[in-house]
């Protein structure tokens, strides 16, 4: 690996996939919800954070709405 690179000479371009990268955030979830996804993730053999991301992505793509009923 070189100490320095001359990017203009290399004709570097921005990563076209950068917009598809994941963004790290902080989110508060109930302990029982985390345990639910951890257990499910073990059964399917993927990390629980990937499972949560996949579930939320599916909800967003399909336009799934939350059904809240306050009693």
**What is the C-alpha end-to-end distance of the chain, expressed in Å?**
63
Helices (H), the chain: 7-10, 31-44, 48-62
What per-residue confidence (pLDDT) applies to 13?
Answer: 79
DSSP 3-state of 62: helix
- For 1-42, the pLDDT digits (tens) are 778 877 776 677 788 887 778 888 999 999 999 999 999 999
For the cut 90, the answer to whether the pLDDT of residue 43 exceeds it is yes
For the cut 90, the answer to whether the pLDDT of residue 59 exceeds it is yes
What per-residue confidence (pLDDT) applies to 51?
Answer: 96
**Cβ-contact 50, 41 below 8 angstroms:** yes
Look up the pTM and report it.
Answer: 0.66
């Amino acid at each position: 690996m070189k100490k320095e690179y001359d990017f203009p000479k290399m004709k570097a371009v921005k990563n076209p996939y950068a917009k598809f990268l994941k963004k790290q955030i902080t989110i508060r979830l109930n302990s029982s919800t985390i345990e639910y996804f951890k257990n499910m993730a073990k059964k399917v053999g993927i990390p629980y954070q990937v499972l949560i991301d996949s579930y939320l992505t599916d909800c967003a793509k399909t336009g799934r709405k939350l059904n809240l009923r306050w009693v």
